[in-house]
Structure 1
Amino acid sequence: MKKSIVTMTFIFLATNLITSQKVEPTTEALQKKWWKEATVYQIYPRSFKDTDGDGVGDLKGIISKLDYIKSLGIDAVWLNPIYESPNDDNGYDISNYRAIMKDFGTMEDFDLLLKGMHERGIKLIMDLVVNHSSDEHEWFKQARSSRDNPYRNYYHWWPAEKGKPPYRWSFFDVNSDAWKYDAQTNSYYLHYFSQKQPDLNWENPNLREEVYEIMRFWLDKGIDGFRMDAFQFASKDTTWPDLPKGFEKNIIKYYGVGPHLHDYLQEMNKEVFSKYDIMTVAEGAGSTPEDALLFVDLDRKELNMAYHFESVDIGKHISDFGLEKYKAIFSRYDETFKDKGWLSIFLANHDQPRMVSKFGNETPEFRELSSKMLTTFIYTMRGTPYYYMGDEIGMTNIRFDSIADYNDVDTRNKYTNLKNKGGDTLAFLEEQKQVSRENGRTPMQWDNTENSGITTGTPWLKVNPNYDEINIKKQEQDPESILNYFRKTVQLRKNNLVLVYGKYSLLDKENPDVFAYLRELDGKRVLVLLNFTDKNTSYNLNLKLGKNEVLLNNYNDTTKVKNNKLRPYESLVIAIE
């Protein structure tokens, strides 16, 4: 739910680098888990498929596309929040954790969706937001009614008679204080995000038990895990020390991973997670790899997977920061996770611009090739791959020209603040064309009919005008499409455990154009070569290929590697002896 300055400072995790001197792993020595071998497909329900003509995607829409989802070969769906919400932050402000937002349907619809997924062998991971609630949640309504209300301590309050509380910066309003004055009880409440998202007080054991009951409610329905949104902020230093100048550059140090966060997670694991065979994913968990490992080291009994951010928040486009720096991120963090913990691999989600627009090349000449190359990257790295809906057909940034086209609370608030200060709003909008999270939220492009087949009404957010050219129906009919390449890549990972558990070794480290690495397991070796540029380039592996077989090539015209050349955005996955 956050972007840019927030996610830049979340957990910075990466894949596993084991030096060539280390003993090669074997499957017998590994802790095999379904969530390590799974491939996860993220659905932003509001933009997926609408069935009632109101312009908003709904649960019945997802149900109607379950066969398509199954055809992708994926194993699990991560579903963004569908709980009852006033939608200040598109569902990340929850007013009832046990009810479905009316825009999306009913609990009966949810039960049918879960049943349909499980019948197709697809697991369901729910997004859970418990750092904060909506200000329209009954807990907060009660809490703000009087200082003596039993729910008062479910949130963080500061009585006005003590003066203004210590300054805290609000993520969704860069010029605002995160303490909001509430006249009814002459007090301030804390909101790290929108003022309609008051932070929950995790120091209160009654609040914690309420959350555990919510978790049990959904797990007993049969869901298969949780993605924990913004949970690294749940524990606060409630002495509220003054923050130093420039604290925004290391937000986790001053805002997150408070004194009791690990205690809460271990309690959560004991009370809930340990009783189910589920996936538990941390959106963020620290500012160093060593800190991050504490959250996902299974011996500590907290969470079982972490969702990293440094590799996506490194800059506006990969050309800005360079491939060498990008490779260094994976290698640096990988060393920490070589023996313990587990990671996620992703290039896009609902808080990021489109994958091909940031890491590839969205021009007509190279969009398909670079999309396929990036897909290859995601599915050949060590870790559980997460893939965002629409990237399987190479959807691109929409690049809105007007603030009126934006729905996102983050973009709109920043624009308003800048305008009020007399800032350069045109430059801001130009930047948002590349970085806004709205780019990843435009409706799914199903076909070339009106509004891309997403709805018979007016879409909640404009459809990208290129849907006539980029759509699922068109790509289904083309065996060489990005969509069908995605399916082949998913199957390649499924059929080769070396791509799941295998040791990762970086090759040709200084090459500014090529990301090359080796995966090794049980005597099997797979070489991956990825050209991240729009030009012909070369590589130097210092590695004897011997007999080799190309398992996957995005140009689809190579069966053996005969030289050290790569074409623009070429990707090769090679079995070698």
Structure 2
Amino acid sequence: MKKKWWHEKIGYQIYPKSFLDTNGDGVGDLAGVIEKLPYLEQLGVDILWLSPVYPSPMVDNGYDISDYENIDPRFGTLEDMDRLIAEAKKKNISIIMDLVVNHCSDQHAWFQKAIADPKGSYGDYFYLKEGKDGKEPNNWRSYFGGSVWEKLPGQENLFYYHAYAKEQPDLNWENPALREEIYKMVNWWLDRGIAGFRIDAIINIKKDLTWEDLPVDGPDGRGFLTNSITRMQKRDGGTKNGIGVFLRELKERCFAPHDAFTVGEVFEVDREQLEEFIGEDGYFSTMFAFDPIQSYKKGTCQCEFDRNMNPDEWKRDVFVNQKLLGDIAFEANIIENHDMARGATIYIPDEDYGFASISALAGLQVLQRGMPFLYQGQEIGMTNCPFELEDIDDIMTLDNYRYAVACGFPEEKAFAGCARESRDNARTPMQWSDAENAGFTTGKPWLKVNPNYPEINVARQEKEYGSVLNFYRRLLCFRKSEEYRDLLTYGTFEPMYEDQEKIFAFKRCLGKQCLTVICNESPAERFLTLKEDYEEVVFVNLPQVTRIGDNLILHPYQLIVVETTKK
């Protein structure tokens, strides 16, 4: 694999609205990110992804953008953004922004002009279609529930398409004029000094232009729109001649000239598509490794996702994914992000929550092959929040709840499941201290603060050598150490002890240098018969390592990294 400047980096996602509020309005801001740059530097991260800070009505918390070339006053100003970029560079930290170009806000000037003159040039910036006998053009269901179609204001039988909320009209990538506007904006930000982008919902920019109805898969008489993408790709023989045309142009016009780092939000691609998307000449630098973190979702409604991740299923899916990747691609490994429940809740049973289990999870993520990407609060073990219905802000959670009830689930069960999976779990304010509102704000927080903040917070963990936070600092330092950096970046990935239940183990090798990672993912002590000898234990989460002959005695949730020599 050809070495790239970002390969050895550690990523960290910031949800600015919930990171740190410096002016007391209850909303995090760019000044708060700047204030915490020393903290992030000490943690060991190199690339900061900021969730959207553009002007927005906040229907979908910033993913409905009304102006692509400005900063929302809630977060600060363009000057604040320039200062963040400059201050971060002094600490060798790169800033990447969210690129949300599948859709915009219905308050964006383009859409307002389309409303004013649907047959004018801006009408073609969106997907406008005549209805069928006054009803929607087809039966597709959006990601947030309900039809993907909404009547264009002032029109009797003209609808616009939205894959997400009705306030987020999809942009028409088939229109060259629209694409030129996007490329101009992307280059404007790159020229301003950011290092690249996380690309949101990008697989949706290519539509099935037949607009044919989908098989009904729910009580609402609709079909889920992702089936249209699958149908289109199957019909067209993949993605190269479809979305690939757009993505290649985007890369050549914007990303490649700036040597930008790009990480795509892309789901369910096969080996051929992996190379196409993130291979040596792929559309993006990397993409998030979503496949291995979906196995616990077995139900058809969000309210059925009421179990923890099965460690053996997770191990199996990681091994399958790593084999699929081989040496052709380099993914970004995650445990959580702004669209998911907290990893410490999903991966760890409540009764097992603690330093050992959280640090074991951290080690398994960070030491895999691929780029580690942390999410704010993950480094202190933040958990899901106990919500009531009136606490929920997330539009997707509320839609999932209504849909679950429509599916026949009792309201209490429907809410319990949807709340467990709610995106709001990841969006509760960052827990900086045991001061009021977790030290996040002196005002009223925009979203409920998790009540466990007096026990789980940065200030407390900074004082404890054996805290989760300080473990993450040691772990990232180990990953980036001169002795093991190349091995843990470019080394091969070989599954180990696959037949051992709740033992997650793998070997990383580069040349003759090898490290074997062994983790007991259970609350019980385990005996493991070694298949190889090791020279030295080089990293652990728990200090006591016991070996009796060819057997390791693994304590509950113990993670051990041993050095071996490849024969």
The TM-score, its normalising length taken from structure 2, stands at 0.91
Aligned to 2:152: 182
Report if the CA contact (8 A) 1:45-1:57 is conserved.
Answer: yes
Which of 530, 535, 539 in structure 1 is aligned with 2:519?
A: 530
State how 1:251-400 maps to structure 2 within 5 Å. Answer: 251=227, 252-254=229-231, 260-299=242-281, 301-315=282-296, 322-363=310-351, 366-400=353-387
CA distance in 2, matches of 1:428, 1:561: 50
State how 1:1-80 maps to structure 2 within 5 Å. Answer: 30-80=1-51
Is residue 138 from structure 1 mapped to residue 120 from structure 2 by the alignment? no
CA distance in 1, matches of 2:371, 2:457: 27
CA distance in 2, matches of 1:46, 1:338: 37
Report if the CA contact (8 A) 1:318-1:359 is conserved.
Answer: no
CA distance in 2, matches of 1:224, 1:321: 34
CA distance in 2, matches of 1:312, 1:514: 17
Deviation, structure 1 residue 239? 1.5
In the alignment, residue 244 of structure 2 is paired with which amino acid? H
State how 1:219-258 maps to structure 2 within 5 Å. Answer: 219-246=190-217, 248=224, 251=227, 252-254=229-231
Aligned to 2:138: 166
Report if the CA contact (8 A) 2:401-2:418 is conserved.
Answer: no
Deviation, structure 1 residue 118? 0.6
Q: Per chain length, whose mean CA-contact separation is higher, i.e. which structure has more relative contact order (CA < 8 Å, sep 6+)?
A: 1
Give 3-state SS (helix, strand or coil) of 2:429's partner.
coil
Question: 1:344/1:171 Cα in 2 relative to 1: closer, same or farther (>3 Å)?
Answer: same
Aligned to 1:129: 100
CA distance in 1, matches of 2:306, 2:293: 9
Aligned to 1:565: 553
The TM-score, its normalising length taken from structure 1, stands at 0.89
Give 3-state SS (helix, strand or coil) of 1:348's partner.
coil
Report if the CA contact (8 A) 1:406-1:412 is conserved.
Answer: yes
CA distance in 2, matches of 1:156, 1:193: 14
CA distance in 2, matches of 1:560, 1:42: 39
1:279-302 per-position Cα deviation (integer Å, ceiling 9, x unaligned): 111101544343333211223x42
Deviation, structure 1 residue 321? 5.8
Which of 542, 549, 565 in structure 2 is aligned with 1:555?
A: 542
Give 3-state SS (helix, strand or coil) of 2:6's partner.
helix
Give 3-state SS (helix, strand or coil) of 2:22's partner.
coil
Higher mean C-alpha deviation, range 464-473 or range 286-295? 286-295
Question: 1:477/1:131 Cα in 2 relative to 1: closer, same or farther (>3 Å)?
Answer: same
Report if the CA contact (8 A) 1:362-1:396 is conserved.
Answer: no
Question: 1:248/1:509 Cα in 2 relative to 1: closer, same or farther (>3 Å)?
Answer: farther
Give 3-state SS (helix, strand or coil) of 2:557's partner.
coil
CA distance in 2, matches of 1:351, 1:283: 11
Give 3-state SS (helix, strand or coil) of 1:34's partner.
coil
Which of 369, 390, 415 in structure 2 is aligned with 1:404?
A: 390
Aligned to 1:516: 505
Aligned to 1:5: none
Deviation, structure 1 residue 405? 0.3
Report if the CA contact (8 A) 1:360-1:367 is conserved.
Answer: no
Higher mean C-alpha deviation, range 105-114 or range 559-568? 559-568
CA distance in 1, matches of 2:62, 2:198: 14
Unaligned runs of 5+ in 2: 218-222, 298-304
Question: 1:561/1:350 Cα in 2 relative to 1: closer, same or farther (>3 Å)?
Answer: farther
Report if the CA contact (8 A) 1:285-1:291 is conserved.
Answer: no
Higher mean C-alpha deviation, range 421-430 or range 512-521? 421-430
Deviation, structure 1 residue 319? 6.5
Report if the CA contact (8 A) 1:552-1:574 is conserved.
Answer: yes
Report if the CA contact (8 A) 2:340-2:426 is conserved.
Answer: yes
CA distance in 2, matches of 1:484, 1:114: 26
Aligned to 1:149: 120
Question: 1:329/1:293 Cα in 2 relative to 1: closer, same or farther (>3 Å)?
Answer: farther
Aligned to 1:448: 434
Report if the CA contact (8 A) 1:507-1:541 is conserved.
Answer: no
Question: 1:264/1:409 Cα in 2 relative to 1: closer, same or farther (>3 Å)?
Answer: same
In the alignment, residue 500 of structure 1 is paired with which amino acid? T
Report if the CA contact (8 A) 1:243-1:254 is conserved.
Answer: no
1:17-48 per-position Cα deviation (integer Å, ceiling 9, x unaligned): xxxxxxxxxxxxx3111221110011111110
Report if the CA contact (8 A) 1:324-1:510 is conserved.
Answer: no
Deviation, structure 1 residue 159? 1.9
Aligned to 2:77: 106
Report if the CA contact (8 A) 2:11-2:371 is conserved.
Answer: yes
Aligned residues: 541
Report if the CA contact (8 A) 2:431-2:440 is conserved.
Answer: yes
In the alignment, residue 295 of structure 2 is paired with which amino acid? I
Deviation, structure 1 residue 249? 9.9
1:257-282 per-position Cα deviation (integer Å, ceiling 9, x unaligned): 86521001111111111101221111
CA distance in 2, matches of 1:105, 1:559: 54
Which of 488, 495, 502 in structure 2 is aligned with 1:499?
A: 488
Give 3-state SS (helix, strand or coil) of 1:463's partner.
coil
In the alignment, residue 100 of structure 1 is paired with which amino acid? I
Deviation, structure 1 residue 322? 2.9
Question: 1:421/1:559 Cα in 2 relative to 1: closer, same or farther (>3 Å)?
Answer: closer
Report if the CA contact (8 A) 1:146-1:185 is conserved.
Answer: no
Give 3-state SS (helix, strand or coil) of 2:372's partner.
strand
Which of 142, 162, 170 in structure 2 is aligned with 1:199?
A: 170
